Amino acid sequence: MKNLADMETATLERQVHLVQLGDRKLQNKLLKAYKPYIAKCVSEVCKRYINPSRDDEFSVGLFAFNEAMNGYSSEKGSSFLSFAQLIIKRKTIDYIRKESARLKVISLDENFDNVMMDNPIEINVANKVDKFNIDQWNRRNEILMFATELSYFHLSISELMRVSPKHKDARESAIQVARTLYQNEKMREFVQTKKKIPITQLMEYVTVSKKTLERNRKYILAIFIVLDGDFLYIKEYIKGVGRLD
């Protein structure tokens, strides 16, 4: 195995591969070298400066970066840093969601003895406002994650809005095709690796024409991305135009 001096000129992707082969010294070196990058990614999610020595969110990002090193594959079609950024942001969002829920429970427990002294209507309104704010924050960050995933397929949200089928029946049909694509293991792996639809193979499992598949290709890919990811709010939205489960 190469020593660290020899690795200075290696690409980051190559270094990550060496980490996956068991180079723990290089692993620690990369974790230390990319602390500023990790803090930047976490800060973008938290919308505030993140102090690596004080903020728990940074530790979440550090663990996520390490997880990204272990799980990265060049076959995913993205650079390691793009992949790491996605993992860091997902893990940070998950942490914030859990902390929000935990702090809400603690707040309710701490004020339980004083509930009878408060106005029940005010409490109900406050709880609804709190839930609305959390949901809004989660939706915004989920859309950012979705935009990142779309970029790996050379798609964008604005483009998706232009090419989405206008009629409900066409949308439902495209969603059903995306479900078929996702549920077939071989086709799912093909899309994940090649970032495109295996049209010829898919034709064997659906009743729509090749022309229709080609016309709705980008929309089908977008729905596939949703099915393949942790997009809770987007999945709920899509259920309004076609079942996903």
Boundaries of every domain in the chain? 1-122, 157-238
Indicate whether 8 pLDDT > 60. no
pLDDT at site 115: 46
Q: Is the pTM of the predicted complex or chain greater than 0.75?
A: no
pLDDT at site 102: 65
pLDDT at site 150: 87
164 versus 241: which is more confidently predicted? Answer: 164
106 versus 136: which is more confidently predicted? Answer: 136
pLDDT at site 95: 86
Indicate whether 6 pLDDT > 50. no
- 103-130 as b/e: b if 16+ CB within 10 A: eeeeeeeeeeeeeeeeeeeeeeeeeeee
pLDDT at site 76: 66
pLDDT confidence bin for 117, thresholds 50/70/90: very low
201 Cβ neighbours under 8 A, 6+ residues apart: 186, 187, 190
Q: CA angle, 103 as apex, 53 and 109 as ends, to 5°?
A: 140
R_g of the chain computed on alpha carbons: 22
Q: What is the pLDDT of residues 54-108, one digit of tens each?
A: 888 899 999 999 999 999 987 767 788 888 988 999 888 888 888 776 655 544 4
Q: What is the pLDDT of residues 193-231, one digit of tens each?
A: 889 999 999 999 999 999 999 999 999 999 999 988 877
Q: What is the pLDDT of residues 173-201, one digit of tens each?
A: 999 999 999 999 999 999 988 899 999 99
CATH 1.10.630.10 fits 1-122, yes or no: no
Q: On the CB side of 165, how many CA atoms lie within 13 Å of its CA? A: 22
Q: On the CB side of 87, how many CA atoms lie within 13 Å of its CA? A: 22
